[in-house]
Structure formats: structure tokens, C-alpha cells
Amino acid sequence: MRLDTVGRNARAAFGLVSLLAAACGEGAGRGGTIVIATAQDPDGLLPATYETREARVVGELLFDRLAERGPALNTVGDVGFEPRLARRWEWSRDSLSVRFHLDPRARWHDGRPVRAGDVRFAFLLYTDPAVASRLGGDLREAMDSISVSDSLTCTAWFRTRTPEQFNTLVTTLAPLPEHLLGGVRRDSVRTSAFALAPVGSGPFRFVKWEPRQRLEIAAVESFYRGRPVLDRVIWSYAPEMSTLVQKLFAGEADFFDMVPPPSVPEAASHPDVRLLPRGNFDYSFLQLNLFDGPSERPHPLFADRALRRALAMGLDRRALVRSLFDTLGHVLAGPFVRAQWSADTSLAQLPFDRAAAARTLDSLGWRVGPDGVRTRGGRPLAFRLLYPASSTNRKNMSVLIQEQLRGLGVRVELDGADNNAFVARGRARQYDAYFGGLIATPSPSGIRQTWTSDAAKPGGFNTGRYLNTAFDAQVDSALNARDVASAKAYYRAAYRIINEDAPAIWLYEPPQVAGAHRRLRTGPLRADAWWLDIPAWSIVPGTRLSRDSAAAP
Amino acid sequence: MRRLLLSRAAQAAVVIALVATLAFVLIHVAPGDPFSASLDDPSVTADIRATQRAQWGYDRPLPQQYVRWIANLARLELGWSHTHARPVKEVLARRVPNTLLLMATALGLGLVAGVALGTWQAARQGSRSERASGALALLALSAPEFLVALGALGLFAVRWRLLPVSGMVDPVLHDGLSLAGRAADVLRHLLLPAGTLALLTTAAVSRFHRSAMLAVLPEEFVRTARAKGVTEVAVLVRHALRNALGPVITIAGLMLPALFGGAVFVEKIFGWPGMGLTMVNAVGGRDYPLVLASVLVGSVLVALGGAVAEVLAAVADPRVRGAA
């Protein structure tokens, strides 16, 4: 089957975006410097090797990709994808290859043109095992090779046809300058000078990076898609969340993407600050180990589906989320977030019904003892809950869960661990219940790596070892569906099965609220990558500060 | 004096070797490694982690890693900091001066002010002003460091906007300033963190020094000086103060490692890029090379601080010199 062709639509979208950016620039006045408050530093600036979100934020402004997902965040086919380095592309009849035509105006920040050879070079670098790129695995699995026809044309060859093959390619691979990186040893590319001071192809160029202090990028004057409105973007680092909020309040920072929930009321009433709720891809859940630790023996409690369901029904998740986040958080409806296209928040879920939960536990033989804890055959209904002590949200919710389950006659022993120990014990399956948190992507296909039987193998991410072939089959069908509607139906069926089985108790999507100074004009923030629209951000006329006129080096 | 120095140097070498070895073993036996964070990321496969560990030699037996570390150390190669994405040498070269600036300013101010306050309190023992200043010092000493820091931040940076909230320089304007302008910029950013630490140091030192002065003032040589008609200020400064400096010098010596170690809470709240927070983050991120290099430099300074304190005490007090 042939996938969609972008052709005319893409060009139209490209033109529209350019026009909008230009119009915005003229209307709001070009120039200005904004300061973004941040608590984390990038772990490098080479797209093939960086792993943190902070690195992505900067890296995706320095490096353009072949195409970018559109605001609808579709990941199937190429519908909605907007041209970047590739100004157009066309599919082969069998959909096993796609030919990209690069924009001849695109330049590296050192002035050299972006060539098709750079695309092939990047592919080889990403997929070289010596580079140990976390993105390389996905590319290797999806792609066979990239061939070059001429300096502006290359063809990506896929191993098999999959609905998300285009998404995998263009959102993973950032073309890299062969003339600068070709001579660098692959096993040391991560620590190369280029990774610390890269030469990119995006709307901003790298200026300066003083780790844990500041990082600066500046607009590329002759950028092929149109110059960004702002002159400079500077990330100013502070390790303490309350300090970051204060920087925003004091006007030292123009933007902070993660205003913590306790500071939201103060920020909302601050005259210089406006709050910008944004989409979210994080979710947290209580994973139940269906086996006894790392052994092959069934877990004495959680191997029992009825007991798991009773525990899920015994928790008032709405009250938990409200206690922690007021009205800002959302109860998780399954192993997906609302911003994913596969999300279905109307899906039936196990209701909060403490009486029904108690009846189920009674029927299973768990009787309330004199100390209020249920027992069966002399064994108390008790388990340990492993959580990361460094996470305030998870720590607080663990306490609330402990308290709610106490009312049901279940004793929960809290087991806080430092983050390294927490993660290591989780991956080694050394837990009863694990307070997990995941960062999803717009593609719902990540469920394969987290909840299917395949992921329950040693080293896999399904450490609670939830095994259900019916669920696996629905996920498999969803991953191979040829259109969004079919895929949605399969995902929905898979979500329904896993929700009924309750291998985990779905807890919350944490609130994501950004704060911006009123002098900054941003527009709505993208759920998947708010930073991608920074080139169109501007300073409101009449609100310029001394820092706006400081010249970029 | 030479024997004293040689003996202390030999002791220090043994202590440093032991501390470094212990740190090496402890950080490696702690759960996790520099790539533990990626364990939380489903896209980082076991193969990728294995390659990363192999590239840095973390897959080798511990004794082999230790020998390699020692060999690198002998060549002054401190390795790569995983948390800073930089060579460790570069991290230390950037962070240590920042810490020295903060801590030297804070401790210097604190020591001078503490000695002055302690002397003044001793001279006015029993007066209302002495009791009031003593109570204030005790209050400052009892207040948690982070509370004082947050209070100062709230008042001076947020409410009155007199000083910057955090950082060491203005992230936008600093590079474009003249040399004097840059110095002034650093000074503006230094005032709150250094002031907070200096306040706490002043309170601590004044308590010790007041007691030492009160012990010295009834001594015969002080009475003799007064009997000879020496002014009260000269009695306090020339005669009593010098003899009461012993405890303060010991405290100052013990504070020397803090010049390098920094102050975690204050650095965190004011975003001061110093060694305290760097080390805490390095331990949390299992950044083996940075942790070990920091411990090494820190233990050298501890040893050095102890030795310097002993020598200074000997210089200040002939009785100590005689005992040594």
C-alpha cells in the first residue's frame, strides 16, 4: 500500500509558516534577547548522542531535521509533516523508500551548504554501534540505508513498511555536517569538541555554553526558512525550583517551562507573569510485580488478578490527584497520555468503589484482623512500595496511597530509595510495587517497549512481567495498521484489556504549566516540543529592556 | 618547626591515599553508575548501556579500574565528567575559583567581623548591648542556613530588587561589560550568598572568640598592662586579642576545606556555580571521575588546612610552639 504524498500540501504549509514568521517579526519588531530559566544542563549538543530533554530543547533549535511533525502530532504516514531541510519528498510505489529533495538554500552555520551526503553520513553515524546512540536502535530497525543521487537528493530505504516509518526517520535523524565530523573517531564523538560547540543547520547558531551557568544561541541572519524574530536566546541555570520561579517574578528570566504546582497560584496573581498550560507526555503509575521479585514464582499477592483489581478500585485516584495537584493534574486513564492521538479518555476504567473492593478482598479470603490489617492463612495483606525519594510528587502520593489503602485493610510499607538505587532495583525487578514514571512520545508505539510480553524479557522495561497474548495481539495490530482509524481501534482494544487486568494502577499526568513574562509573545505551546516555535516568539513592542539591545557576539 | 612540617606532611600523604582509595571503593559499590539515569528510558537498550560502560572501562573488574585510575592520576589525567559533559580538569578549573571567591569572601568577612564582635562583647561583658548582640548571634547561629538564604533572597532580590536572584554573572550583559563593569557584576551577584554565609560565620566565630577573650582578660599580663597605664583599646588589641586567637585560628584552619568544598544550600538557592553543589550532583549522578577528583583535592586541602592551623597557632602562641 502506498503511503500519503505530501507534495502540494507540504509546500503550502511551508509557505504559510514562513509568512507567519515574517509577519510576526514585522508586527512585533524584530530583535530582542530572552532568558529562559532552567534547572538542568544539556548532556551534550550532538543530536546523535544526547539523551536529555534539555539537550533536545537546544539541539532542535541548532539542527534542522528533514521534516517536522505538524501541530496535530500525527505520527502515521506523512500527513501533517512540515518540510524543513527537505523541501519535498516522494514515495516509491511500494512505500519502501522515500526520496528527499533538500532545500538548496540550506546552509551549515559555517556557511557550507547542506548536502545529501550529510544525511547519509548522519544515518551511518547514528547507527554505528560504537557511537552507542539511543536513537540508533530505532533507525537500524526501521531503515536499511540512505543512498545519495546527487548533492541535493537522497533516498531513504526502509526494511519493511510500517505506518510510522516516516515519523521514525524524520524525527530521529538530524543531518550532520560530514565535513566537520567525518574525521572524528566514532567512539569518541560524544566527547568531541563538536558535541560541546556544534555547527548546526537550524534557525539559531551556537554561541556559548558555560555548564551549569548559561548557554547562549543567536539567530542565523541568513536562515533559509527566514530569520528568527529574536536575536538571542539564553538559558540561565539555577538548581533550585523556587529560585527559578523567583527569577521569573523578578524579571531576570522571560520564560520558565515548568512552574511547580505550589507556585502556580502566586504566578497566576503576579502582574508581570502569565501562565501557559501546555500539553504533557509524562505519566506516573503504580506498577505491580506479578512475580515474586526477580524469581519465576508468582507474587503471593499481585499474581491474583482479582486482588489487583480490588486494590485499584480501593484507591480514590481523583482525590489523590486533587490532593497533590489541585485542579491542574489529570487522572491517568491507561498507559497513554491525553496528548497522544491514540488517547481515549472515555475508556471504561475500574471505578473507585471501596465497598466493592472490600467485598472482593473478603471473597478472596482476606479478612480484617484485630489490628485492622487483612490476613489470609496467617499472612497479612501487606506489600512494600518502592518510590524515588528525590521525587516530591511521588513521595507525597505514596503517603496518600498508604493512607487510603490502610482504610481498606491493606498495609503498605513505604520504601524510598535514592534515584540510582530506585531505578536499578526496578530494572532488577526487586520490588512488590514500583512507583514508575514514564515520558511518552507522540507516537503511542512506545507501549510495545513498556507493557507487552516482549518487553517482559530480561532487560526489558515490563519489569512487573504483565503477560497477556490478547493484549500483545492488539498492540501488534495497532503497530501495523495502515490508517489512523484502524490503529486507534486496536489501541483502544489493547488499553481496555490492560485496564481490566490492572497490572498497574494508573495514577496521574502531572501538570505542565509554563510561565512567561508579559513582555514575551509566544503563542500556544506545542505539547511535544514547545521550543520548536521559539523562532516565531517576539518581544511585545514598548516592553524592551536593556538586555534586548545587547549585541550578540 | 621543620620537623613539625615534615611529620604533618607524611601523615597527610597517608591520609590522602586512604581517603582517595576509600572514596573509589565506596562510589563504585554504591548502586548505579554514570549511565543509571538511562535505565529509566525504554529506548536505551541493554546493548547501548553495555557499549557505553565498555567505552569508559566501567565493565572491568574494580581492581583493574583502580589501577587504571591511579595510572591516569600519575599523568594528571582526571578523566571526563559525565554530569558536566566536560573534562574533569576543566570543571575543576571553572568551579574551584568560583568557590574560592565565595568562601574566601564569606569566611574572611565572617572571621574579621566575628573577632571584632567577640572582642567588643568581651569588653562589654554584662552590659545590655552585649546581651542583646549575644542573643542575636545565637539566633543567627540557630537559624538553618537555607532559611537565612531564602529570607535574604526574598527581601533583597525579589521584594526590593536591589540584587540579582541567582547566578554569578548577568547571563546577558556580562560579556559586553568593561573589566570594571564585569568585576562590579560579579560583586553584585556575590553579595547575597557571601553575605548569608558571612553572617553565619560571624555569629559562630564571635561566640568562640568572646569566650576566649573572657578567659584571657583576667590573666596577670593583662592586669599588668592596665597597671602600666596602657589604654583599654591597646590592652584589648595588643595584649588580650593575640593570646585569645588560638581557638579562632583552629576554627579558621578547619574552615579551610570549606574554601574548596563550598556551601551546598547557599550555592543551590543562589545558583552559585561552586564546588559544593557540583560534588553533590556528581555523587547523585555517579560521576565517578568528578567525585574522585573532588575528593582528592578536598582531602589535600583538609590536610593542608590542619597543617596551616597548627603552624599559625605555633606562631601566635609561644606555648604551642614549645610543645611542638
CB A178 within 8 A of CB A117: yes
Helix boundaries (H) for B153-245: 179-216, 220-227, 232-234, 242-244
Q: CB–CB of A506/A285 below 8 Å?
A: yes
Per 3-state DSSP, chain A is made up of helix, strand and coil in percentages (nearest 5) of: 35, 20, 45
pLDDT digits (tens, 9 = 90+) for A92-126: 999 999 999 999 999 999 999 999 999 999 999 99
Q: What is residue B318's predicted lDDT score, i.e. its pLDDT?
A: 65
A430 touches chain B (CB under 8 A): no
- pLDDT class of A26 with cuts at 50, 70, 90: very low
Q: State the pLDDT confidence band at A436, using cuts at 50, 70 and 90.
A: very high
Is residue B301 situated within a structural domain? Answer: no
Higher-scoring residue by pLDDT: B148, A156: A156
Interchain proximity A213–B41, CB inside 8 Å: no
The per-residue pLDDT for B242 is: 83
In CATH, what number is assigned to the domain containing residue B239?
1.10.3720.10
Set of chain B residues whose Cβ sits within 8 Å of the Cβ of A213: 167-169, 171, 273
Q: Is the pLDDT of residue A5 over 50?
A: no
Domain annotation covers residue A98: no
B88 within a domain of the structure (yes/no): no
Q: In the predicted model, what is the mean pLDDT of chain A?
A: 91
- The answer to whether residue B162 sits within a structural domain is yes
Task: Judge residue A99's burial from the number of C-beta atoms within 10 Å of its C-beta, 0-12 exposed, 13-18 middle, 19 or more buried.
Answer: middle
The C-alpha cell of B42 is what? Answer: 525504554
CATH number at residue A481: 3.10.105.10
- What percent of chain A is predicted at pLDDT more than 90? 77
Q: Do A246 and B153 touch (CB under 8 A)?
A: yes
Half-sphere exposure of B314 (CA within 13 A, CB side): 14
- Give the model's pLDDT for residue A3: 37
Q: What does the DSSP 8-state code read for residue A209?
A: E
Q: What is the pLDDT of residues B203-255, one digit of tens each?
A: 989 988 999 999 988 888 888 988 888 888 888 888 888 888 888 888 877 77
Interchain CB contacts (distance < 8 Å): A and B? 154
The predicted-structure confidence for B80-97, as pLDDT tens digits, reads as follows: 999 888 899 999 999 989
Task: Please name which of A431, A438, A437, A427 lies closest in space to residue A414, comparing C-alpha atoms.
Answer: A431
Q: Which residue has the cell 592551623?
A: B309
| Cβ neighbours, 10 Å, residue B208 | 18
| Strand partners for A413 | A384
Is B208 among the domain residues? yes
- Please tell me the predicted confidence (pLDDT) of residue B316: 67
Closest CA to A255 of A518, A546, A541: A518
Distance of CA A111 to the CA centre of its chain: 32
Higher pLDDT: B242 or A182? It is: A182
Asked if residue B243 belongs to a domain, the reply is: yes
Lowest-pLDDT choice from A298-302, A383-387, A405-409, B294-298? B294-298
Residue of A nearest to B55 (CA): A187
Whether A457 maps to a domain, the answer reads yes
No. of helices (H) and no. of strands (E), chain B: 15, 2
pLDDT tens digit sequence for A441-476: 999 999 998 999 999 998 888 999 999 999 999 999
CA atoms within 13 A on the CB side of B146: 9
At residue A20, does pLDDT exceed 80?
A: no
A160 touches chain B (CB under 8 A): no
pLDDT tens-digit series, residues B162-215: 999 999 999 999 988 999 999 999 999 999 999 999 998 899 899 889 999 999
Give chain A's end-to-end CA distance (angstroms, integer): 52
- Mean pLDDT in residue range A275-286: 91
Of A133, A423, A461, the CB nearest to B42: A461
More confident residue, A304 or A527: A304
Parent domain of A317: 282-509
State the greatest distance between any 2 C-alpha atoms of chain A, in Å, as a whole number.
Answer: 81
Rounded CA separation A389/A394 (Å)? 8
Does a structural domain hold residue B73?
Answer: no
Q: What interhelical angle do A317-325 and A392-406 show, nearest 10?
A: 140
- Report residue A87 CA to chain centroid gap: 26
CA dist., res. A256 & res. A110, Å (int): 31
Going by DSSP bridges, is the β-strand pair A520-521/A538-539 parallel, antiparallel, or unpaired?
antiparallel
- SS3 at position A278: coil
With an 8 Å Cβ cutoff, are A419 and B37 in contact? yes
Quick check: A424 pLDDT over 90? no
- Give me the residue from A191, A208, A459 closest to B46, CB to CB: A459
User: Is A318 part of any domain?
Assistant: yes
Say if the Cβ atoms of A424 and B31 lie within 8 Å: yes
**Highest mean pLDDT of the ranges A346-350, A432-436, B230-234:** A432-436
DSSP secondary structure code for residue A311 in this structure: H
Question: Is the Cβ pair A247, B161 closer than 8 Å?
Answer: no
Alpha carbon distance A412, A401 (integer Å): 8
CA separation for the pair A238, B267 (Å, rounded): 9
What is the arithmetic mean of pLDDT over B4-17?
A: 81
CB A436 within 8 A of CB A385: no
Residue type, A89: W
Three-state DSSP class for residue B133: helix
Helix (H, G, I), strand (E, B) or coil at A508: strand
Which residues, 6+ apart, have CB-to-CB distance to B282 below 8 Å? B81, B83, B290, B291, B294
- Distance between B155 CA and the closest CA of chain A, angstroms: 11
Helix (H) or strand (E) holding A255: strand A255-256
Average pLDDT rounded to a whole number, residues A19-24: 44
Least confident stretch, A351-365, A506-520, B302-316? B302-316
* B225/B33 Cα distance (integer angstroms): 65
pLDDT(B258) > 90: no
A271 vs B: CB within 8 A: no
Looking at residues A25-51, what average pLDDT do you find?
Answer: 85
Q: Residue B41: is its pLDDT beyond 80?
A: no
Could you give the ipTM of this predicted complex?
A: 0.81
- Answer whether residue B71 is part of any domain: no
Within-domain flag for B130: yes
Residue A235 domain flag? no
Instruction: Enter the C-alpha cell of residue A550.
Output: 545587547
Please provide the size of chain B in residues: 324
Interchain proximity A252–B165, CB inside 8 Å: yes
Q: CA–CA separation, A412 vs A389, rounded Å?
A: 16
Total domains in chain B come to 1
Cα–Cα distance between B111 and B321 in angstroms, integer? 23
A16: pLDDT strictly greater than 80: no
As for how many domains chain A has, the answer is 1
Question: pLDDT tens, A52-83?
Answer: 889 999 999 999 999 999 988 989 999 999 99
Helix, strand or coil, per DSSP, at residue A432: coil
pLDDT at A10 over 50: no
A372 in any annotated domain: yes
Which of A179-183, A194-198, A389-393 has the lowest average pLDDT?
A: A389-393
A133 near B CB under 8 A: yes
Q: Are A34 and A234 in contact (CB under 8 A)?
A: yes
Cell (9 digits) for A250: 523578578
> For chain B, what is the mean pLDDT?
86
pLDDT of residue A350: 94
Q: Which domain holds residue B127?
A: 95-282
| Three cell numbers written together for A258 | 515548568
Confidence of residue A230 (pLDDT cuts 50, 70, 90): very high
pLDDT(B13) > 70? yes
Residue A419 located in a structural domain:
yes
Higher pLDDT pick, A36 / B305: A36
Q: What are phi and psi of A138, to 5 degrees?
A: -60, -40
Interface contact flag, A243 B161, Cβ < 8 Å: no
**Collapsing DSSP states into helix, strand and coil, what is residue B116?**
helix
Rg of chain A's alpha carbons, rounded to an integer?
25
Among B32, B164, B175, beta carbon nearest to A421: B32
Predicted confidence at residue A38, as pLDDT, reads 96
Whether the CB-CB separation of B265 and B279 falls below 8 Å is answered with: no
What's the confidence (pLDDT) of residue B319? 63
Report the pLDDT averaged over residues B115-123.
92
Q: What are phi and psi of A401, to 5 degrees?
A: -65, -45
Closest Cβ–Cβ partner in A214, A239, A423 for B171: A214
Name the pLDDT band for A353 (thresholds 50, 70, 90). Answer: very high
DSSP code of residue A107: B
Q: How far apart are CA B280 and CA B145, in angstroms?
A: 17
Per-residue pLDDT averaged across A28-40, rounded? Answer: 89
| Residues shown for chain A | 553
